[in-house]
Amino acid sequence: MSEQMRVMRSKELPKELRDRIVARHRSGQGYKRISAALKVPKNTVNSIILKWKKFGTTRTLPRPGHPAKLSNCGRRALVREVKKNPKIPVAELQRCSREMGESSTKSTITAALHQSGLYGRVARRKPLLSARHMKARIEFAKKHRKDSQTMRNKILWSDETKIELFGINSKRYVWRKPGTAHHLPNKIPTVKHGGGSIMLWGCFSAAGTGRTGCN
């Protein structure tokens, strides 16, 4: 494709040129010949002729609906903020929007993020693990991957969890794309200590569940 055609593809053609395309089409010329003669991409020629057949005009028609309340540049800036911090609240995104000179409502910002495939979802809670903990867990899994069922029947698995009494660890939302719930930035780390909570211990084996302890 020539440089001229690339420019024409990215810009709206003058009405005079659109009229010439339709005139050549009415005289019996094919799309390929019109494209070569006027140096306009074939797809553009096709679109202009289809529009002329449907509306009977080559002039620019008014766009349906209201104009966008947030520019593409503004939307991309908000997406960058969300990718840097998926847990950023909408109120903070509003402040960022005002600083860019595009004051937007919460609903406008939410709609813009939805257009980019980002949705507000409750963050998954996972234990806060260091790199050392993660490595140890992977090594344990690899080491015992080929254990026999008889060996596994002898294992007693135990775990503990903390339950907040006063809603300290209430739900938090993150902006994320579908299928990314378990990506590290989209999760809330949990710890096993702190006030205003109770600890529960439990265990299970191949024979079933054990007793639950409470503290």
pLDDT one-digit tens code per residue, 182-193: 777 777 766 555
Per-residue pLDDT tens for 92-126? 999 888 888 888 888 889 988 988 888 888 877 77
| Domain total of the chain | 3
> Do 145 and 204 belong to one domain?
yes
Got the DSSP string for 49-89? Answer: HHHHHHHS--SPPPPSSPPPSS-HHHHHHHHHHHHH-TT--
Q: Is residue 40 part of a domain?
A: yes
Q: Is residue 63 part of a domain?
A: no
105-113 long-range contacts, CB within 8 A, separation 24+: 105/69, 108/69, 108/70, 109/70, 109/78, 112/70, 112/74, 112/75, 112/78, 113/78, 113/79, 113/82, 113/175
Please state the rounded mean pLDDT for residues 68-88.
86
R_g of the chain, CA atoms, integer Å: 30
> Residue 213 and residue 199: Cα distance in Å, rounded?
8
> Do 112 and 161 belong to one domain?
no
Residues 6+ apart with CB under 8 A from 190: 125, 126, 127, 128, 162, 169
Nearest to 173 by CA among 159, 191, 156, 186: 186
pTM of the predicted protein model: 0.41
> Do 137 and 209 belong to one domain?
yes
> Do 111 and 134 belong to one domain?
no
Residues 6+ apart with CB under 8 A from 168: 194, 196, 197
Phi, psi dihedral angles at 75 (to 5 degrees): -65, -40
Beta-carbon-side half-sphere exposure of residue 39 (alpha carbons within 13 Å): 7
> Do 155 and 192 belong to one domain?
yes
> Do 151 and 203 belong to one domain?
yes
> Do 140 and 185 belong to one domain?
yes
> Do 96 and 27 belong to one domain?
no
Per-residue pLDDT at 134: 84
> Do 138 and 210 belong to one domain?
yes
Q: Is residue 106 part of a domain?
A: yes
| pLDDT exceeds 90 at position 71 | no
Domain limits for position 81: 72-117
